[in-house]
Amino acid sequence: MLTYAIRRLLGAIPTLLIIITVAFFMMRVAPGGPFSLERPLPEQIMRNLNAIYNLDKPLITQYLLYLQNLVQGQMGPSFFYPGRTVEEIILSGLPASIQNGAVAIILALVVGTSVGSIAALKQNSRTDYGIMAGAMVGITIPNFVVAPVLSLIFGVYLGWLPTGRWDDGALVNRILPVIALALPQIAIVARLTRGSMVEVLRSNHIRTARAKGLPERIVLVRHAMKAAALPVVSYLGPATAAVLTGSVVIETIFGIPGVGRYFVQGALNRDYTLVMGTVVLFATFIVIFNLLVDLIYGLLDPKVRYD
Amino acid sequence: MTEVPEAAAVGPPPAAAAERPTVLAVDGLNTRFDTPEGEVCAVNDVSFRVREGETVGIVGESGSGKSQVFMSVMGLLAANGRATGSVKFRDQEILGMPPQKLNRIRGAHMSMIFQDPMTSLNPYLTVSRQMTEVLVQHKGMGESDAEKRSVEMLDLVRIPEAKRRIRMYPHEFSGGMRQRVMIAIALLCQPDMLIADEPTTALDVTVQAQILELMHDLKTELNTAIVLITHDLGVIAGLSDRVLVMYAGNIVERGAVREIFYGPQHPYTEGLLKSMPRLTGTEQTELPSIPGQPPNLQHLPSGCNFRPRCAYAFDRCRVEEPAQRDIGPGRAKACHLDAL
């Protein structure tokens, strides 16, 4: 399995290279640049700026220079935040995003699978309809509505929790943003779990397990869970990559110094290096979590073998 | 309908079958399913006994309700299914028993194997786990004792290298091997009754023969009562002592296996027997078949359910549903004809 993992990681390098290349050139196709402001800068200053950031060199040279630096672990200076490199910016925001995201994903996994299983067991009952209606609401209401409403109810009206404060990540300040992050994930995981669980509970081997006189608890946990978990695992791979790299809406509304907001800010500011940095970060997370999904599949399903 | 005592069957009788204690007594069993199109009656007033050590064959086409009788017995009906009547296992009423109580009986004192061995085992668990859990549950054995016993059982159903193979997953076994594993699991706790629902249908012919031979040997070795559900009369002939013929949820004929085969008394049974392929001495090239389709259970014909397909049907069959009546010791049929 280790050799498989290493082979997969090596195989991811060309994928990353293609993503970086496409992102790099697409960003440059759009007219304008980091220094094209409403009031144009004097020509001499423009020339000097372009020279500092290598923007005066041919595009292909810039691309090769970027790759060369990236291999050495340097993502270059930010265009918009003077004096800060992109790796500094990302590393300063990443811990907060990862911490909140990890808790949200764990919540989604625990609550989502439990609630989904209950719905599957009580299929077509009131409990089932209630849970599924709740899940549908959780999926359809966008987070830019959920987050302010949570703030309003628990922060303003009830006054139980602070709104929009961070204070280096004090626990009370994390509760609302984590819930806002987790809600849609819980809803999706619950629906997926219910769907696959209903399917599995109908299968012949579950009938066999019941015919053996096993208690319902063992039928569920030992015989149904593994099979029912597979679609959830496939969903959670890319979802975890997305949640761990932060959410621009939630980080803005709750004032979290995370990395999510840079995805949008970088693009709006034409901060070429920062955009590239976020692209590399997200692509790497996706590659890693997809690999993890495949490895977990191998653990769950004996028919999947890596050699 | 009354249960007829078993006696004086043709040929060597199953030794004093009537005196043997009853394992399973089914009386007036009705099984209905709620469907979006209305209620479907899959099993209609079915009564029979299974006695210690005997083999009862249940034969009928797909949809005749033969499987649903035993799904009702085992408490395995789909969520929209409902069984009424009486099912007594060793004199204990088990119909409508809560699952926790039923779980002390099924898997231990009565067990069931299913048609499709490819999907009836859990693909995510080792064979060992799927066997030992039964012994742990019902006999309170420890893992290592349970595994030892499981290996013995795999030896008994003639799985070579059982010690090594028990660690494998079902997908590493062939279809016939998986059915052997299913049989081994079903027999782990030495049940009084084994229900085999089309145990050989999904297997190819040579493997079928092996499985039937195995069941025949186990029957004599372990003295387990066997209920053999199948549409294949050849399978019934080789193993059963008694036969129940089912059509559209009713038992239409019952009797000792020889009587059913050599003197069928119901037109449906006769049709089934005629449509068996034979290897000897006929110039016929086309296999006779029963015309028509099994009836839609929601729109049953008036009178006798078999009437639209019956070559002997007369006026009375159209208006009156034939009741089951005794036509000899251990013999009964549901047909207006007096003789075929």
A35 belongs to a structural domain:
no
Assign residue A274 the CATH number of its domain.
Answer: 1.10.3720.10
Amino acid B282: pLDDT? 60
> Is residue B111 a contact partner of residue B137, using CB atoms and an 8 Å limit?
no
Amino acid B50: pLDDT? 94
The pLDDT of B52-76, averaged and rounded, is 91
Note the pLDDT tens digit of each residue in B102-141: 999 999 999 999 988 889 999 999 999 999 999 999 999 9
A71 burial level (CB within 10 Å; 0-12, 13-18, 19+): exposed
Amino acid B337: pLDDT? 87
Q: Which domain holds residue A115?
A: 86-300
Q: Hey, are the CB atoms on B123 and A214 less than 8 Å from each other?
A: no
Amino acid B338: pLDDT? 83
| The pLDDT of residue B17 is above 80 | no
Phi, psi of B316 (to 5 degrees): -60, -35
Which among A122, A203, A208 is the top mutation candidate for probing chain B, defined by the most B β-carbons within 10 Å of its own β-carbon?
Answer: A208
For the sheet with B55-59, list strands across it. Answer: B110-113, B193-197, B225-230, B55-59, B242-247, B250-256, B331-333, B325-328
A36 belongs to a structural domain:
no
Q: Hey, are the CB atoms on B106 and A303 less than 8 Å from each other?
A: no
> Is residue B239 a contact partner of residue B215, using CB atoms and an 8 Å limit?
yes
Question: Domains in chain A: how many in total?
Answer: 1
Q: Which residues of A touch B125 (CB under 8 A)?
A: 222-223
| The pLDDT of residue B59 is above 90 | yes
Largest CA distance in chain B: 67
| The pLDDT of residue B96 is above 80 | yes
Amino acid A307: pLDDT? 61
Tell me the average confidence (pLDDT) per consecutive run of 10 residues in chain A, 307 residues long. 84 90 87 76 82 82 89 85 87 89 94 92 89 91 87 84 74 84 94 94 94 92 91 92 87 85 84 88 91 88 77
Amino acid B130: pLDDT? 95
Amino acid B284: pLDDT? 62
Note the pLDDT tens digit of each residue in B298-319: 888 888 889 888 888 888 888 8
This prediction's pTM: 0.81
Give B228's strand partners: B57, B196
ipTM value: 0.86
Q: A272-300 and A59-71 are packed helices; what angle lies between their axes, rounded to 10 degrees?
A: 50
Note the pLDDT tens digit of each residue in B154-178: 998 889 999 999 999 999 999 889 9
User: A305: distance to nearest CA of chain B, Å?
Assistant: 12
Compare B256 and A49 and report the one with higher pLDDT: B256
Give the pairing of strands B55-59 and B225-230. parallel
Per-residue pLDDT band at B237 (split at 50, 70, 90): confident
Helices (H) and strands (E) in chain A, counts: 13, 0
Note the pLDDT tens digit of each residue in B19-44: 789 999 999 999 999 988 888 999 99
* Alpha helices per DSSP H over B75-174: 99-102, 117-120, 127-139, 143-156, 162-165
CATH superfamily label, B1-53+64-99+240-276+287-340: P-loop containing nucleotide triphosphate hydrolases (3.40.50.300)
Q: Is B122 on the interface with A (CB under 8 A)?
A: yes
Task: Report DSSP state, residue A166.
Answer: -
A174 belongs to a structural domain:
yes
Amino acid B254: pLDDT? 93
Phi, psi of B198 (to 5 degrees): 50, 55
Give the pairing of strands B110-113 and B193-197. parallel
CA–CA distance, A53 with A152 (Å, rounded to integer): 44
Q: Hey, are the CB atoms on A211 and B74 less than 8 Å from each other?
A: yes
Amino acid B8: pLDDT? 40
Closest chain B residue to the Cα of A226, Cα to Cα:
B124
Residue whose tokens read 């979802």: A239
Give B56's strand partners: B227, B242
Amino acid B5: pLDDT? 44
Per-residue pLDDT band at B283 (split at 50, 70, 90): low
